[in-house]
Amino acid sequence: MAELSRFFNSEVGDVREYPASDFAEYFDKFLSDGIYTDNDSMGLNTTITGLVATVGEGFAFIKGYLYKNNADITFTLANADAILSRIDRLVLKLDTVNRSMNVVKKEGTLGSSPVAPTLVDDGAVKELPLVRIRVNANSSTGIITDERVPVSSIIEIPYEDMSAEFDIWFDARVLEAGVGSPLGSGSQVITASPGITMTFPHNLGRPAIIQYWGDLGGGAQNNYILDNNNTDFSIRLSSSSGNVGSGTLYYAFW
């Protein structure tokens, strides 16, 4: 079947029933895989005392499936080796065949330079990392490295990118209205020829709205540009201009 649509009510003679996998596929389109974070507090936090690791309460999403833990879960790690070290891992495991999601312990292999067990993601099973726990040789405790991937909201929204784009749009509107002071300005006496590219600093740490003008030809007469560089901007005189000589270029940026 090439086309699918869901979800609709059943009618007499036309029963519409949907398996859980259909709902998971639906939610997977806008729920990011990760550990749910509420009020800057990320769930499923792991602590360790000696060789006993404890995973706290929390929610998580994997492939549209919901996981909830409402009580501490403890794992007792194997004793340390006398000579070699190892790295264990606690992961949240989704198993669609067995219809389960559980926190499981994956014990690492002993070695002088140990590596953590690999994560499984083979279609039916996907493992989301929680922590790595290094058990050094002849040690009585483990060292935790947090590996949780936070999910701050139902949909991960690129707030910083959106804010930066809005700032650029707003600055352009201010410039068009002729209000607001530039964040910086300057001028430079140059000898220019058609096709030359000149670079000037602004160091705003973000893209800038540039206004430039002067008595040079080739596009240097009261122009506006949006430069995507975070530290400087470039002006290129038109290669078709026949205006060659010295002059002053003035610029301001927002």
Instruction: Domains for the chain: give ranges and CATH numbers.
Output: 20-151 (2.60.520.10), 159-253 (no CATH)
Bigger pLDDT: 77 vs 213: 77
Give the confidence band of 155 by pLDDT, cuts at 50, 70, 90.
Answer: low
Q: What is the pLDDT of residue 219?
A: 45
User: Using 50, 70 and 90 to split pLDDT, how confident is the model at 176?
Assistant: low
Q: Mean of the pLDDT values across residues 177-197?
A: 64
On the question of pLDDT at 232 being above 80, the answer is no
CA gap 26, 109 in Å, rounded: 38
Q: Are 43 and 56 in contact (CB under 8 A)?
A: yes
* pTM over 0.75, yes/no: no
What was the pLDDT predicted at 160? 62
CB-based contact 254:180 (threshold 8 Å): yes
> Residue 220 pLDDT > 90, yes or no?
no
- The single-letter code of the amino acid at 123 is G
pLDDT of residue 15 exceeding 90: no
Residue of higher predicted confidence among 41 and 136: 136
Residue 74: pLDDT band (50, 70, 90) is very high
- 25 vs 108, higher pLDDT: 108
Any residues with CB less than 8 A from the CB of 131 and at least 6 apart, and which? 46, 53, 89, 90, 144, 145, 146, 147, 148
**Average pLDDT score over the chain:** 78
pLDDT at 11: 83
181 pLDDT more than 90? no
Looking at residue 50, what is its pLDDT?
A: 95
> Which pLDDT belongs to residue 218?
45
Choice between 244 and 68, residue whose per-residue pLDDT is larger: 68
Residue 190 confidence (pLDDT): 65
Are 33 and 128 a contacting pair, CB within 8 Å?
Answer: yes
Phi, psi for 159 (deg, rounded to 5): -60, -40
Of the candidates 65, 64, 53, 61, the one whose C-alpha atom is nearest the C-alpha of residue 89 is 53
Beta carbons within 10 angstroms of residue 130's beta carbon: 25
Tokens of 161: 């990118």
